[in-house]
Amino acid sequence: MRFTFLGTSAGVPTRDRNVTGLAVSAGHPRDWYLVDCGEGTQHRLQHTRYTAARLRTIFITHVHGDHCYGLPGLIASSQVGGRKEPLTVCAPFGIQEMFEAVCKYTDMRLLYPVRFIRSDVPDFVYEDDDVRVDAIGLSHRVPSFAYRFTERIRERHLDQKRLAELGIARGPLWGELQHGRSVTLPDGRTVSPDQVAQPDPPPRRIVVGGDNDRPELLQPLLDQCDALIHEATYTEDVLARVGPQYQHSTAAMVARAAAHAGLPHLFLTHFSQRYRASATAGEHSIQDLIDEARALFDGELHMARDLDSYEITRERNLIKTTESR
């Protein structure tokens, strides 16, 4: 399971950070999913291996512009790039209405179907061959959601010791069992794939949160989760000055929730523009967020940067990868 940050800034872009977008891949390395689509997302994609033609589904966390203003442009550009396959958009109320208004007033005429699925309904689930995605409601000024991506295990691994015990020699029968089909042996015995399959490894899971000032709401999604990706717009001292009305999380809030869940990896993102990359560039820096989170979270802490890519391997190791063209 892989993911690439396409934008890590809150509200407005900075010189170093675009607004929110995250590419997720769980099957073929060039098939992918998009979580949020802030303005400029399609430009960020030009620096990655991901193309609009291989985009399977878009998930929008909420209707605020830094998470969705890039959606009409990306969909329109996909057509220019030759896309013909249907595209699914999972989003709360308001996203489909916004898109349809753009189509109406800008004369956008699509030659491929765009299908909208409401993700703000009870028991929302999206499934395809590679992933299962469910959602949970968060706390923000508008309805906002987190999405949990769970890989679907498709590869069946045979237990060679068990095959030998049953007298099944390597050959065509192995292939049939590998593909999930029962076989009949020369002596008339029938062997099902389940009799000779190794137990499936636990699926890899990541949770991607939308804007949210109550990270504890994520707890039902965090069981056996490999990584949480969540906004940390402020530090506690800045929140005390700006006030709670914007309903964003601090690094401390998210770190506390991640520690409670025993998460191995926490990715903080969606940083206020006041936080500079360098500690000498201004009053506030990303180091402030790091220090606040580390005081509460003992797992692996990662500060998201635009175009940084990561992979969670089958062995549950996290490695930094390159997703550039």
Instruction: Please identify every residue annotated as catalytic.
Output: 66
Question: Based on the number of CB atoms within 10 Å of its own CB, is 37 exposed (0-12), middle (13-18) or buried (19 or more)?
Answer: buried
Q: Residue 320 forms beta bridges with which residues?
A: 310
- Measured between alpha carbons, how far is 207 from 140 in angstroms, rounded to an integer? 17
- Measured between alpha carbons, how far is 142 from 65 in angstroms, rounded to an integer? 12
Q: Residue 116 forms beta bridges with which residues?
A: 89
Contact yes or no for 226/204 (Cβ under 8 A): yes
For 74-232, list the strands marked E by DSSP. 87-91, 114-118, 125-127, 131-137, 145-151, 183-184, 190-191, 205-208, 227-231
Phi, then psi, of 106 in degrees rounded to 5: -115, 5
- Which is nearest to 60 in space by CA: 130, 120, 122? 120
List the structure tokens of 315. Answer: 């062995």
- Measured between alpha carbons, how far is 294 from 115 in angstroms, rounded to an integer? 42
Give CA 154 to chain center in angstroms.
Answer: 19
Question: Based on the number of CB atoms within 10 Å of its own CB, is 248 exposed (0-12), middle (13-18) or buried (19 or more)?
Answer: buried
Contact yes or no for 275/286 (Cβ under 8 A): yes
